[in-house]
């Protein structure tokens, strides 16, 4: 599969979809989590819905996505977004809610308000938890993408896996599974783990080595 280009094409197709869906999840989940943590009306109205939907497996969104968008690229992207958005939102809310109240009081005493407060105090103080939430959201997005591609043939690693199943080609199935695990582990270790360690050391939450 590597020699004939099928593996490379499938990896690029899957990662392209993942980048689009995950970026949308992060852009929507971060402000939504902050709003839930900082606004009582949002916490009362939105938080129960978010927590309830979080219990729904991401693949359960696929039938609804197909009804709304048809058998299209948008259907898979919708599944990826819904698989990741809720995890990012909940983790961001927890990270903001866990900020030391003394930090927020000090910012108020110094007259720091508006965008300067959110960009200079709130987000940096919650950043270690936010990065952990983004890491969790990535793992959910990756699983949702594989499930969507496996059930809805539209290229990517999921379809390559389904083709191996249909052809009873065990080496192809195992090869794709190894590729999925390798990509997931590489992104986790090279991106999120590295960022987590650096931020926690910078914030004094872990010992420097």
Kindly report, residue by residue over 140-170, the tens digit of the pLDDT.
Answer: 888 888 888 877 766 788 888 888 888 888 8
Position 207 in a domain: no
DSSP 3-state helix, strand, coil percentages of the chain (rounded to 5)? 85, 0, 15
CA distance 50 to 35: 13
Position 208 in a domain: no
Position 108 in a domain: yes
Mean pLDDT of the chain: 84
pTM more than 0.85: no
Residue 98: the pLDDT is: 84
Q: Calculate the CA 5 to chain-centre distance.
A: 28
CB proximity list for 168: less than 8 A, separation 6 or greater: none
Tell me how many domains the chain contains. Answer: 1
Residue 52: the pLDDT is: 83
Taking a C-beta distance cutoff of 8 angstroms, is the pair 174, 106 a contact? no
Residue 206: the pLDDT is: 59
Question: What CATH number corresponds to the domain at position 53?
Answer: 1.10.3720.10
CA distance 82 to 61: 7
CA distance 129 to 72: 35
DSSP conformational letter for 99 = S
SS3 3: coil
21 φ/ψ sector (left φ>0, alpha ψ -120 to 50, else beta)? alpha
SS3 93: helix
pLDDT band at 24 (very low <50, low <70, confident <90, very high): very high
Question: Looking at residues 101-115, what average pLDDT do you find?
Answer: 82
Position 194 in a domain: yes
Position 126 in a domain: yes
* Domain span at 178: 6-202
Kindly report, residue by residue over 35-56, the tens digit of the pLDDT.
Answer: 998 888 888 888 888 888 887 8
Position 209 in a domain: no
Task: Calculate ∠ Cα 175-177-179, nearest 5°.
Answer: 70
Position 15 in a domain: yes
Kindly report, residue by residue over 53-82, the tens digit of the pLDDT.
Answer: 887 887 788 888 888 887 778 888 888 888
Question: Looking at residues 170-184, what average pLDDT do you find?
Answer: 89
Residue 208: the pLDDT is: 52
Listing DSSP states for 29-70 in one string gives HHHHHHHHHH-HHHHHHHHHHHHHHHTS-GGGHHHHHHHHH-
Q: For residue 1, what are its two tokens?
A: 């599969």
Position 1 in a domain: no
Kindly report, residue by residue over 4-13, the tens digit of the pLDDT.
Answer: 888 888 888 8
């Amino acid at each position: 599969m590597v020699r004939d280009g099928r593996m490379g094409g499938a990896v690029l197709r899957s990662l392209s979809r993942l980048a689009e869906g995950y970026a949308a999840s992060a852009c929507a989940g971060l402000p939504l989590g902050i709003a839930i943590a900082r606004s009582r009306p949002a916490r009362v109205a939105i938080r129960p819905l978010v927590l309830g939907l979080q219990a729904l497996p991401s693949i359960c969104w696929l039938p609804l996505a197909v009804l709304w968008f048809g058998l299209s690229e948008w259907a898979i992207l919708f599944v990826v977004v819904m698989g990741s958005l809720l995890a990012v939102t909940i983790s961001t809310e927890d990270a903001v809610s866990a900020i030391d109240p003394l930090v927020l009081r000090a910012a108020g005493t110094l007259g720091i308000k508006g965008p300067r407060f959110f960009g200079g105090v709130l987000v940096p103080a919650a950043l270690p938890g936010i990065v952990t939430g983004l890491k969790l959201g990535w793992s959910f997005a990756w699983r949702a993408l594989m499930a969507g591609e496996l059930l809805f043939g539209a290229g990517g690693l999921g379809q390559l896996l389904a083709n191996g199943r249909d052809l009873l080609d065990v080496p192809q199935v195992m090869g794709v599974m190894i590729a999925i695990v390798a990509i997931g582990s590489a992104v986790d270790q090279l991106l999120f783990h590295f960022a987590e360690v650096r931020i926690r050391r910078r914030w004094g939450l872990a010992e420097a080595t």
